[in-house]
């Protein structure tokens, strides 16, 4: 056991720990926190890719010009969550929100909102429902509709500055836990709160800790699972990048509860900013005696390490993850292995997801009752989701468990692009299955989703509009699963490959009516026989597609047509004689010279040469290029498709 | 839909007990006709020799760990020259500067994991040279095959040198529905290589990656340190042509 009772009374001990926390905080070093004027620039991946770095330069120069350098801080925060509107800039403490900022907007913003106290109205976010500009970030419907607990500090806290975190009651939960010196009490609190694993499995966190604590072992480990391999999910990564101290505090609370002396935060090397910021955060915390031996003078010590591994989907499986840390191939150990008995280096180990860890400080600070005040019938609290795909407001959202999927996708996400209709939603990434638009009233929690055949899994909600073919989408999921299958067990290794082959056949028009039965049998066998959740996850997109989109699959098999005009073998590109102006744009762009025609004359596409690469449709300014599939047609004068095109 | 099950509640995990229940080990025969029950037998070739040569592969890969092999190596000396093969394999690879390896070894001695060491090596050389893998194996006391096994497990490790320009196309779910396969195809056609390959002039390497985390900008392409969003096949072709031109100048 790492904790030991001091001879002093518990009151003295608590006072000592709180005093130590007080001492660790050096508020003078705080940059831009609280009421001080500062400009928060989103440093999330999406905003960075849309030009946040150039913005930072422009802003620095402009502030210098006004003699404000050093007076108004520029804080490179973590992900603000509203990725669709990036790059995002927020002026605090006023909370003025500027979306899609360009370097040329900077002078006007600095002039009006930093030097003066007005707002540049034409640069503000406009409520799509009313068209009215909204200045206050909290009033934007996307933020107002959320319950931000785990994400509360994400986008406001400076991830490279521990004092900024400490100024927001950071590490106060850890101090409380250490002062009470009652690990069993912590576990009871977490159990009372009804917190379940946010990584997808949904195992009750308190129960896992209790098992880990009670199992005999020389020492215990806590591992924070930050290997987010699911394409389309970026919540763990954003948390690690934008609020690393919250994750570290959560890890320490977990370590204290199970009695672990060593903890790992497992993430991927290709998440370079996350690894870097975590390491900085750990160094800062170590320097303030918040990590390492004798934390805050309590006698409890825990060493926390960042383990930057390579990315593989199967590493998210806890036993595979443990194998990776031990330096083996990342293969799962099997259903019968229980990490709480024999985990890392054969010692009892508690593996928890990043989001689970990050929700612990809030839970301890506000208590189990407040935590459980929102949530579904079987699970309490909130869930962070990354909303992507054909949805308008893609980004990070946090909602109470039990919120309906419609509210998430249509209410917060703003639905699909103008002119498209919502077709389906993948509620939990690649292995979560797919739900049709008329099932959207399902509540987003573990059991309600389970009833529909889908799962929460990683929390990556991918929205699909009518420009996407379900066969193609399933094919994509299967291709991913077959590639990521580690190969240890036969049902998954061979089964996913067979399902992939069948779906490839269906998408090329060679499907047979018997394929449906074959798929169903494969689904049953893989689900039963696979060694880990990856196999069962590979089954889910197939099962749900068969259950909800049978007619679309039948159209591929029986009629040899793709209703969404996506599957390449079943479509052809043609040019409308009425709409083509003969501008030659497609003529030059076609990589295989399949387009012919003179200038100012309608062009034609040679079907023998066409490779269906979609380039002509994209370059056409007159929407003259149409996609046809045995009786159905898209393109032409229809609005541009938000998401489309197949492999 | 799931098949309706009338039997007892489904048991999770290993079903080994069912396998064992059906076997009379004394008589070495099967009792009952339960599905999935089997005995191992070793096949003999025409001359009556056992074909098994105790490679232990079945023992190592058995998903339920039900095979235990007790064996003695019959050939104390391997019938081929290992040292010569190793030297030849090393010869086939380009020379590397061994200095960055010191930092990797220091990291290993400092308690870094194998994957972390491989990451550091790739950061230094942009791929994993065989010599580095051998040094890591020597340092950690693992066999080269074990290190190689871990290195080949992760798609992000390159075992061959990569080109001057590394282009990574995101093929995550959001990028896929937004048209990433077409972008990937355009790159592949313009570079005249398949995905995962390097051009002969060592100028381009094309790779597909799963989600770079900028889904709002799908489809996304990562080129060097830059992440570029809203990519199109036309942009892809332009980029490759431009880089080719720059190289010729």
The pLDDT tens digits of the residues spanning A61-114 come to 988 988 887 788 888 888 888 888 888 999 888 888 999 998 888 989 888 888
From A321, which residue of chain B is nearest by alpha-carbon distance? B115
Judging contacts by C-beta atoms under 8 Å, the chain A residues touching residue B168 are none
* Chain B interface includes A335 (CB < 8 A): yes
| Mean of pLDDT values over B50-65 | 79
Q: What digits encode the pLDDT tens for the residues A308-360?
A: 888 788 888 888 999 999 988 888 887 777 888 888 988 999 999 999 999 99
Judging contacts by C-beta atoms under 8 Å, the chain B residues touching residue A460 are 173
CB B137 within 8 A of CB B143: yes
Cβ atoms within 10 Å of A305's Cβ, excluding its own = 19
Res A54: pLDDT? 86
Interchain CB distance below 8 Å, A390 and B177: yes
Judging contacts by C-beta atoms under 8 Å, the chain A residues touching residue B62 are none
CB A234 within 8 A of CB A45: yes
The conformation of residue A396, written as its DSSP 8-state character, comes to: E
Res A342: pLDDT? 85
Residue A541's pLDDT band (cuts 50, 70, 90)? very high
| Mean of pLDDT values over B129-155 | 89
Q: What digits encode the pLDDT tens for the residues A7-17?
A: 446 778 888 88
Chain A neighbours among B 34-53 (CB < 8 Å)?
A: none
* Chain A interface includes B13 (CB < 8 A): yes
The C-alpha atoms of residue A236 and residue A387 are separated, in whole angstroms, by 13
Chain B neighbours among A 97-126 (CB < 8 Å)?
A: none
Q: What digits encode the pLDDT tens for the residues A555-585?
A: 999 988 888 888 888 888 989 888 888 888 8
| Mean of pLDDT values over A393-417 | 91
Interchain CB distance below 8 Å, B63 and A645: no
What Cα–Cα distance (Å) separates residue A363 from each residue in A208, A356, A636? 17, 10, 54
- Residues near A472 by beta carbon (within 8 Å), at least 6 away in sequence: A507, A562, A564, A566, A567, A646, A647
- Residues near A22 by beta carbon (within 8 Å), at least 6 away in sequence: none
Q: CB-hemisphere CA count at 13 Å for B28? A: 2
CB A508 within 8 A of CB A567: yes
The C-alpha atoms of residue B69 and residue B59 are separated, in whole angstroms, by 7
Residue with the bigger pLDDT between B27 and A614: it is A614
The C-alpha atoms of residue B194 and residue A358 are separated, in whole angstroms, by 42
Q: CB-hemisphere CA count at 13 Å for A515? A: 23
B8 has pLDDT over 60:
no
The C-alpha atoms of residue A57 and residue B9 are separated, in whole angstroms, by 63
* Closest Cβ–Cβ partner in B2, B115, B218 for A310: B115
* Chain B interface includes A314 (CB < 8 A): no
A483 has pLDDT over 90:
no
The C-alpha atoms of residue A175 and residue A20 are separated, in whole angstroms, by 9
| Mean of pLDDT values over A396-402 | 92
| Mean of pLDDT values over A225-245 | 88
Interchain CB distance below 8 Å, A615 and B114: no
Judging contacts by C-beta atoms under 8 Å, the chain A residues touching residue B174 are 231-232, 388-389, 394, 462
Strand order, beta sheet including A460-465: A395-400, A382-389, A460-465, A422-426, A435-436
B3 has pLDDT over 60:
no
| Mean of pLDDT values over A490-500 | 92
Residue A20's pLDDT band (cuts 50, 70, 90)? confident
Distance from CA of B89 to the nearest CA of A (A): 23
B119 has pLDDT over 70:
yes
Q: What digits encode the pLDDT tens for the residues A113-150?
A: 888 888 888 889 988 888 888 888 888 889 988 998 99
* Chain A interface includes B19 (CB < 8 A): no
- Residues near A114 by beta carbon (within 8 Å), at least 6 away in sequence: A37, A39, A63, A66, A68, A72, A91
Interchain CB distance below 8 Å, B173 and A476: yes
CA dihedral A35, A41, A42, A47 (to 10 degrees): 160
* Chain B interface includes A235 (CB < 8 A): no
Q: Which two tokens stand for residue A199?
A: 């990584």
Residue A361's pLDDT band (cuts 50, 70, 90)? very high
Judging contacts by C-beta atoms under 8 Å, the chain B residues touching residue A565 are none
Cβ atoms within 10 Å of A500's Cβ, excluding its own = 21
| Mean of pLDDT values over B34-58 | 76
* Chain B interface includes A307 (CB < 8 A): yes
Nearest to B63 by CA among A316, A535, A332: A332
Residue with the bigger pLDDT between A247 and A622: it is A247
Strand order, beta sheet including B204-209: B204-209, B165-170, B221-223, B226-228
Interchain CB distance below 8 Å, A50 and B13: no
Give the range among A167-171, B73-77, B187-191 with minimum mean pLDDT: B73-77
Judging contacts by C-beta atoms under 8 Å, the chain A residues touching residue B191 are none
From B112, which residue of chain A is nearest by alpha-carbon distance? A307
Q: How far is CA A249 from the centre of its chain?
A: 21
| Mean of pLDDT values over B40-64 | 80
Q: Which two tokens stand for residue B219?
A: 């489809």
DSSP per residue, A195-235? -B-TTTT--BHHHHHHHHHHS--SS-EEEEE----STT--H
A1 has pLDDT over 50:
no
- Residues near A157 by beta carbon (within 8 Å), at least 6 away in sequence: A33, A77, A78, A164, A165, A168, A242, A243, A245
Interchain CB distance below 8 Å, B179 and A615: no
Chain A neighbours among B 227-246 (CB < 8 Å)?
A: 227-229, 232-234, 237
B1 has pLDDT over 60:
no
Pairing mode, if any, of strands B23-24 and A632-635? Answer: unpaired
Give the range among A70-79, A210-219, B11-20 with minimum mean pLDDT: B11-20
* Chain A interface includes B119 (CB < 8 A): yes
What Cα–Cα distance (Å) separates residue A369 from each residue in A193, A195, A365? 6, 11, 11
The secondary structure of A301-313, three-state, reads: CEEEEEEEECCCH
B15 has pLDDT over 70:
no
From A329, which residue of chain B is nearest by alpha-carbon distance? B150
What percentage of chain A carries pLDDT values higher than 70? 94
Interchain CB distance below 8 Å, A309 and B178: no
A279 has pLDDT over 70:
yes
Res A362: pLDDT? 94
Length of chain A: 647
Residue B30's pLDDT band (cuts 50, 70, 90)? low
Interchain CB distance below 8 Å, A615 and B142: no
Judging contacts by C-beta atoms under 8 Å, the chain A residues touching residue B3 are 520, 524
* Closest Cβ–Cβ partner in A232, A467, A476 for B211: A232
Res A378: pLDDT? 80
Chain A neighbours among B 198-217 (CB < 8 Å)?
A: 209-217
From A491, which residue of chain B is nearest by alpha-carbon distance? B63
Residue A521's pLDDT band (cuts 50, 70, 90)? very high
Distance from CA of B149 to the nearest CA of A (A): 6
pTM for the model stands at 0.83
* Closest Cβ–Cβ partner in A84, A489, A591 for B216: A84
Residue A205's pLDDT band (cuts 50, 70, 90)? very high
* Chain B interface includes A330 (CB < 8 A): yes
Q: Which two tokens stand for residue A174?
A: 């850890």
Judging contacts by C-beta atoms under 8 Å, the chain A residues touching residue B64 are 334
Helix (H, G, I), strand (E, B) or coil at B227: strand
Interchain CB distance below 8 Å, A613 and B113: no
| Mean of pLDDT values over A189-207 | 89
Whole-number mean pLDDT of chain A? 87
* Chain B interface includes A317 (CB < 8 A): no
* Chain A interface includes B218 (CB < 8 A): yes
Judging contacts by C-beta atoms under 8 Å, the chain A residues touching residue B171 are 231
Give the range among A227-241, A265-279, A478-492, A631-645 with minimum mean pLDDT: A631-645
* Chain B interface includes A613 (CB < 8 A): yes
From B219, which residue of chain A is nearest by alpha-carbon distance? A643
| Mean of pLDDT values over B149-174 | 88
CB A430 within 8 A of CB A230: yes
A153 has pLDDT over 60:
yes
| Mean of pLDDT values over B238-246 | 91
From B220, which residue of chain A is nearest by alpha-carbon distance? A49
The C-alpha atoms of residue B95 and residue B117 are separated, in whole angstroms, by 20
* Chain A interface includes B141 (CB < 8 A): no
From A233, which residue of chain B is nearest by alpha-carbon distance? B213
Residue with the bigger pLDDT between A433 and B43: it is A433
Strand order, beta sheet including A349-353: A303-309, A262-268, A221-225, A349-353
Q: Which two tokens stand for residue A10?
A: 């518990």
Segment (H or E) for A625: strand A625-629
What Cα–Cα distance (Å) separates residue A572 from each residue in A472, A577, B170? 16, 16, 26
Phi then psi dihedrals of residue B58, to 5 deg: -65, -35
Residue A4's pLDDT band (cuts 50, 70, 90)? very low
The C-alpha atoms of residue B27 and residue B225 are separated, in whole angstroms, by 67
Whole-number mean pLDDT of chain B? 80
CB A171 within 8 A of CB A245: yes
Q: Which two tokens stand for residue A490?
A: 């036969």
* Chain A interface includes B172 (CB < 8 A): yes
From B223, which residue of chain A is nearest by alpha-carbon distance? A49
Judging contacts by C-beta atoms under 8 Å, the chain A residues touching residue B237 are 591
Interchain CB distance below 8 Å, B210 and A311: yes
Q: What digits encode the pLDDT tens for the residues B63-105?
A: 777 788 877 666 667 777 878 887 887 788 788 888 888 888 9
Residue B11's pLDDT band (cuts 50, 70, 90)? very low
What percentage of chain B carries pLDDT values higher than 70? 82
The C-alpha atoms of residue A473 and residue A506 are separated, in whole angstroms, by 12
Distance from CA of A494 to the nearest CA of B (A): 14
Q: Which two tokens stand for residue A310?
A: 């390579």
Res A408: pLDDT? 93
């Amino acid at each position: 056991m790492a904790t030991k009772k001091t001879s002093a009374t518990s009151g003295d001990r608590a006072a000592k720990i709180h005093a130590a926390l007080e001492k660790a905080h050096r508020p003078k070093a705080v940059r831009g926190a609280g009421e001080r004027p500062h400009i928060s620039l989103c440093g999330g991946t999406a905003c960075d890719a849309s030009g946040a770095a150039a913005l930072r330069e422009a802003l620095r120069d402009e502030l210098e010009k006004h003699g404000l350098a050093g007076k108004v801080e520029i804080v490179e925060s973590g992900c603000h969550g509203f990725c669709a509107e990036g790059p995002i800039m927020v002026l605090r403490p006023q909370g003025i929100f500027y979306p899609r900022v360009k370097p040329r907007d900077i002078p006007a913003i600095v002039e009006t909102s930093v030097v003066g106290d007005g707002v540049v109205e034409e640069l503000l976010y406009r409520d799509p429902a009313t068209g009215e500009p909204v200045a206050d970030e909290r009033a934007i419907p996307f933020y107002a509709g959320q319950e931000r607990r785990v994400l509360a500090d994400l986008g406001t806290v400076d991830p490279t500055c521990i004092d900024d975190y400490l100024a927001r009651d950071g590490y106060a939960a850890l101090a409380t836990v250490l002062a009470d010196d009652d690990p069993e009490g912590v576990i009871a609190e977490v159990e009372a709160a009804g917190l379940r694993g946010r990584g997808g499995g949904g195992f009750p966190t308190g129960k896992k800790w209790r098992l880990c604590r009670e199992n005999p072992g020389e020492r215990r480990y806590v591992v924070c699972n930050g290997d987010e391999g699911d394409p389309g999910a970026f919540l763990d990564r954003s948390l690690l990048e934008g609020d690393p101290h919250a994750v570290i505090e959560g890890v320490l609370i977990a370590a204290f509860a199970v009695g672990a002396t060593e903890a790992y935060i497992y993430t991927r090397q290709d998440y370079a900013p996350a690894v870097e910021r975590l390491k900085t955060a750990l160094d800062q915390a170590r320097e303030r005696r918040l990590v390492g031996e004798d934390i805050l003078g309590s006698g409890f010590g825990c060493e926390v390490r960042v383990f930057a591994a390579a990315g593989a989907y199967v590493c998210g499986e806890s036993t595979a993850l443990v194998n990776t840390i031990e330096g083996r191939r990342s293969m799962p150990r099997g259903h019968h292995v229980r990490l709480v008995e024999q985990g890392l280096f054969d010692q009892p180990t508690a593996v928890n997801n990043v989001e689970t860890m990050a929700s612990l400080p809030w839970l301890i600070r506000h208590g189990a009752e407040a935590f459980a005040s929102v949530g579904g019938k079987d699970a309490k609290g909130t869930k962070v989701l990354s909303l992507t795909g054909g949805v308008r407001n893609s980004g990070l959202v946090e909602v109470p468990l039990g919120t309906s999927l419609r509210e998430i996708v249509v209410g917060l996400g703003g639905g699909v692009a103008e002119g498209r209709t919502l077709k389906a939603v993948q509620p939990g990434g690649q292995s979560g299955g797919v739900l049709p638009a008329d099932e959207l009233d399902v509540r987003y929690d573990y059991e309600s989703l389970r009833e529909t055949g889908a799962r929460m899994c990683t929390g990556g909600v991918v929205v699909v509009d009518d420009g996407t073919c379900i066969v193609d989408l399933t094919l994509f999921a299967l291709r991913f699963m077959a590639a990521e299958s580690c190969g240890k067990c036969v049902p998954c290794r061979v089964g996913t490959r067979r399902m992939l082959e069948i779906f490839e056949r269906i998408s090329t028009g060679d499907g047979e009516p018997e394929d449906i039965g074959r798929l169903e049998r494969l689904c049953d066998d893989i689900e039963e026989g696979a060694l880990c959740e990856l196999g069962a996850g590979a089954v889910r997109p197939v099962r749900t597609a068969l259950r909800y989109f049978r007619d679309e699959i039948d159209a591929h098999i029986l009629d040899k047509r793709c209703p969404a005009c996506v599957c390449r073998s079943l479509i052809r590109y043609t040019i409308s004689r009425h709409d083509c102006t003969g501008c030659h744009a497609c003529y030059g762009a076609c990589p295989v010279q399949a387009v012919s025609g003179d200038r100012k004359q309608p062009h034609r596409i040679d079907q023998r040469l066409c490779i269906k690469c979609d380039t002509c449709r994209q370059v056409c300014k007159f929407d003259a290029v149409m996609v046809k599939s045995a009786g159905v047609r898209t393109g032409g004068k229809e609005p541009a498709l938000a998401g489309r095109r197949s492999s | 839909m799931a098949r309706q099950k009338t039997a007892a509640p489904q048991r999770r995990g290993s079903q080994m007990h069912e396998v064992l229940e059906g076997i009379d080990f004394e008589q070495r025969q099967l009792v009952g006709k339960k599905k999935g029950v089997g005995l191992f037998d070793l096949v003999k070739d025409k001359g009556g020799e056992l074909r098994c040569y105790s490679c232990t592969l079945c023992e190592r890969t058995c998903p339920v760990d039900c095979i235990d092999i007790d064996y003695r190596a019959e050939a104390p000396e391997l019938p081929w020259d290992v040292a010569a093969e190793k030297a030849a394999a090393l010869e086939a690879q380009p020379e590397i500067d061994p200095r960055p390896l010191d930092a990797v070894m220091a990291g290993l001695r400092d308690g870094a994991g194998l994957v972390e060491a491989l990451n550091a090596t790739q950061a230094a050389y942009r791929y994993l040279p065989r010599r580095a893998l051998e040094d890591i194996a020597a340092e950690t006391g693992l066999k080269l095959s074990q290190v190689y096994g871990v290195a080949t497990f992760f798609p992000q490790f390159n075992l061959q040198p990569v080109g001057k320009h590394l282009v990574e196309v995101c093929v995550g779910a959001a990028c896929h529905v937004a048209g990433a396969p077409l972008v990937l195809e355009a790159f592949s056609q313009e570079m005249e290589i398949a995905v995962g390959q390097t051009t002969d002039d060592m100028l381009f390497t094309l790779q597909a990656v799963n989600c770079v985390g900028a889904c709002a900008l799908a489809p996304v392409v990562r080129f060097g340190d830059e992440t570029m969003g809203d990519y199109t096949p036309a942009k892809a072709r332009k980029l490759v042509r431009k880089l080719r031109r720059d190289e010729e100048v």
